[in-house]
């Protein structure tokens, strides 16, 4: 009877060892698996500055978002003087949002999208419904709640 008890203990030790090995292996997999994937976004610059200045702004935008694990697929430059949402460059941005391919829109300042409060609220609500975050280089991700928005 004593040998049966030893055999049972040996099996338990073996099972315990195998369980430990499995946990070590799983921990190695978890440690090598990145927890957060890279996000995809579109940059948007509303400016009348020179081409050289626009390139500097775009480089800053790319550099800033890279550190946030956000890859910019395109940077749209809007040189119009309009504030409404019915602009060619805003429509292009909305097409990207509807494709369900991007996670974020990157702007220097939220008011580059529009300085008209109603238009801005409408745009932010649309982005929220499409699960697209707005990343402001000044204040970070989702810089303002669209229900508490105040103009500068």
pLDDT at 29: 55
Q: Are the beta carbons of 75 and 137 closer than 8 angstroms?
A: no
Question: Mind listing the pLDDT tens digit of every residue in the chain (152 residues)?
Answer: 454 444 445 555 455 555 666 666 555 555 544 444 678 899 999 988 899 999 999 999 999 888 778 889 999 999 987 777 888 999 999 999 998 788 899 999 888 998 888 888 899 999 988 989 998 888 776 644 444 444 44
Q: Are the beta carbons of 42 and 93 closer than 8 angstroms?
A: yes
Cα R_g (the chain), whole angstroms = 26
CA distance 62 to 28: 33
pTM exceeds 0.85: no
As beta bridge partners, residue 70 has 39
As beta bridge partners, residue 104 has 41, 133
């Amino acid at each position: 009877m004593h040998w049966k008890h030893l055999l049972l203990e040996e099996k338990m030790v073996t099972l315990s060892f195998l369980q430990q090995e499995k946990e070590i292996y799983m921990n190695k997999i978890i440690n090598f698996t990145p927890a957060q994937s890279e996000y995809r976004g579109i940059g948007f610059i509303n400016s009348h500055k020179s081409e050289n200045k626009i390139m500097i702004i775009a480089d800053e935008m790319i550099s800033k978002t890279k550190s946030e694990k956000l890859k910019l697929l395109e940077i749209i430059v809007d040189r119009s003087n309009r504030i409404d949402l019915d602009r060619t460059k805003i429509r292009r941005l909305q097409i990207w949002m509807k494709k369900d391919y991007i996670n974020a829109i990157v702007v220097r300042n939220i008011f580059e999208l529009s300085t008209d409060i109603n238009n801005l609220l409408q745009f932010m609500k649309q982005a929220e419904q499409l699960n697209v975050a707005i990343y402001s280089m000044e204040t970070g991700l989702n810089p303002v709640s669209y229900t508490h928005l105040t103009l500068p």
